[in-house]
């Protein structure tokens, strides 16, 4: 039975399957209560629940990187709390349902917020390598924790940078969606990886091809950043770890350091080039649950939100970009002070 009839304030979130497309959607009516997410004001200024000193405005923390002090007090460097307006909830239990084509299940899972740093104005691209590595270490800790829970199928880690990219709070933060289904994006990527597995990994190959094709932006010992051949938007970037592994959770210290370096450098370049544009950034990694996804290669993607997708994108799932990927890579390299293709 769906919980649709419950009072919307108390309705638990659901995952529903569209019988025409087969795509899953989450119905989380509780999230509509999310104001500009401003719980109070001081001197007319919104009171930020993610700033140090305001810990009581969030649910109790579930994890923190802190030197000293008790939980839910200042002194932390990175802090993880449950989302106040979750799209998935541990309480959403029980069985799925099917009434004709109306197929759904409780949105059992978790929806967590990781506050990237105590600094209200410090985005990932503004961080130094040490700060970024600390944040990525927090992602890894929370990822491993959730991946070890039963029934978890996929963990989606994302950053929405600035309101125009969907952030309801300005203070830089990461969201972790712990899902009981595998999403279409990961299914599609797994399908492609398996299709050509006999010829080797498609993502390892994509990194090599980007180098030969002038789409490489930057590389260090453990990571490469390139503009994809079929980029969906101007300045879309794919960040690829050089070691082939399906699973973000298997990352070692060197890879985290390399990841901090590549993300901060490229995001700084993007910010220099376009004046701190809004973007979405996410990790794509293999589903949880122990099956063999050996052909898959985990990675990070970033899409700047500088052109607004319209009817064509919704109608087709196909994007129209207006900048050649090689030219986007060239401009990003230039803004990072990398003169020409090596």
Three-point CA angle 139, 141, 145, nearest 5°: 115
The answer for 337, left when phi > 0, alpha when psi is -120 to 50, beta otherwise, is: left
Name which position in 107, 176, 203, 270 contacts Zn ion (CB under 5 A). Answer: 203
User: Rounded CA gap, 10 and 89, in Å?
Assistant: 12
Q: Could you tell me if 207 and 262 are in contact, meaning their C-beta atoms sit under 8 angstroms apart?
A: no
Min CB(317)–Zn ion separation in Å: 15
Name which position in 244, 305, 334, 338 contacts Zn ion (CB under 5 A). Answer: 244
Q: Any contact of residue 167 with Zn ion (CB under 5 A)?
A: no
User: Rounded CA gap, 164 and 185, in Å?
Assistant: 22
- Name the one range near Zn ion by CB under 5 A: 30-38, 73-81, 90-98, 163-171: 163-171
Burial of 72: CB neighbours in 10 Å, binned 0-12, 13-18, 19+: middle
Q: Any contact of residue 171 with Zn ion (CB under 5 A)?
A: yes
Q: Any contact of residue 120 with Zn ion (CB under 5 A)?
A: yes
User: Rounded CA gap, 126 and 116, in Å?
Assistant: 11
Per-residue tokens: 165 = 């990219």
Q: Any contact of residue 145 with Zn ion (CB under 5 A)?
A: no
- Name the one range near Zn ion by CB under 5 A: 79-87, 110-118, 221-229, 240-248: 240-248
Q: Order across the sheet with 14-17: list the strands.
A: 24-27, 14-17, 102-106, 97-99
Q: Any contact of residue 79 with Zn ion (CB under 5 A)?
A: no
Element (H, E) at 195: helix 184-195
Q: Any contact of residue 298 with Zn ion (CB under 5 A)?
A: no
Name which position in 201, 273, 307, 324 contacts Zn ion (CB under 5 A). Answer: 201
Name which position in 48, 64, 176, 281 contacts Zn ion (CB under 5 A). Answer: 48
Min CB(98)–Zn ion separation in Å: 31
Number of residues that bind Zn ion (CB under 5 A): 11
Name which position in 50, 139, 145, 223 contacts Zn ion (CB under 5 A). Answer: 50
Please, which residues have CB within 8 angstroms of residue 320's CB and are 6 or more apart in sequence?
312, 313
Residue closer to Zn ion, measured from CB, 17 or 171: 171
Min CB(18)–Zn ion separation in Å: 22
Residue closer to Zn ion, measured from CB, 27 or 127: 127
Binding residues for Zn ion (CB under 5 A): 48, 50-51, 120, 171, 201, 203-204, 244, 284, 297
């Amino acid at each position: 039975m769906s919980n649709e009839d419950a009072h919307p304030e108390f309705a638990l979130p659901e995952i529903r399957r569209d019988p025409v497309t087969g795509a899953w959607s989450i119905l989380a009516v509780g999230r509509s209560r999310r104001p500009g997410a401003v719980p109070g004001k001081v001197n007319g200024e919104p009171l930020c629940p993610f700033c140090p000193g305001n810990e009581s405005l969030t649910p109790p923390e579930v994890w923190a990187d802190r030197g000293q002090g008790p939980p839910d007090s200042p002194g932390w460097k990175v802090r993880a709390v449950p989302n106040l307006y979750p799209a998935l909830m541990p309480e959403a239990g029980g069985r799925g349902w099917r009434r004709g084509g109306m197929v759904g299940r409780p949105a059992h899972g978790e929806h967590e917020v990781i506050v990237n740093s105590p600094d209200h104005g410090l985005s990932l691209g503004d961080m130094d390598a040490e700060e970024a590595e600390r944040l990525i270490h927090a992602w890894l800790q929370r990822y491993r924790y959730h991946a070890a829970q039963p029934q978890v199928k996929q963990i989606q880690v994302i950053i929405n940078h600035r309101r125009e990219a969907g952030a309801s709070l300005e203070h830089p933060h990461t969201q972790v969606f712990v899902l009981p289904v595998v999403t279409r994006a990961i299914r599609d990527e797994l399908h492609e990886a398996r299709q050509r597995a006999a010829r080797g990994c498609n993502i390892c190959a994509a990194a090599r091809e980007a180098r030969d094709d002038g789409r490489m932006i930057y590389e260090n010992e453990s990571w490469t950043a390139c503009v994809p051949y079929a980029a969906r938007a101007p300045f879309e970037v794919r960040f690829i770890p050089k070691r082939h592994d399906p699973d973000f959770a298997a990352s070692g210290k060197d890879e985290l350091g390399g990841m901090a370096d590549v993300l901060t450098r490229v995001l700084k370049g993007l910010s220099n080039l376009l004046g701190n544009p809004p973007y979405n950034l996410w990790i794509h990694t293999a589903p949880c649950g122990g099956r063999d996804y050996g052909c898959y290669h985990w990675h990070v993607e970033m899409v700047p939100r500088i052109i607004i997708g319209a009817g064509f994108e919704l109608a087709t799932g196909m994007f129209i970009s207006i900048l050649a990927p090689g030219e986007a890579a060239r401009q990003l390299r230039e803004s990072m002070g990398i003169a020409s293709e090596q």
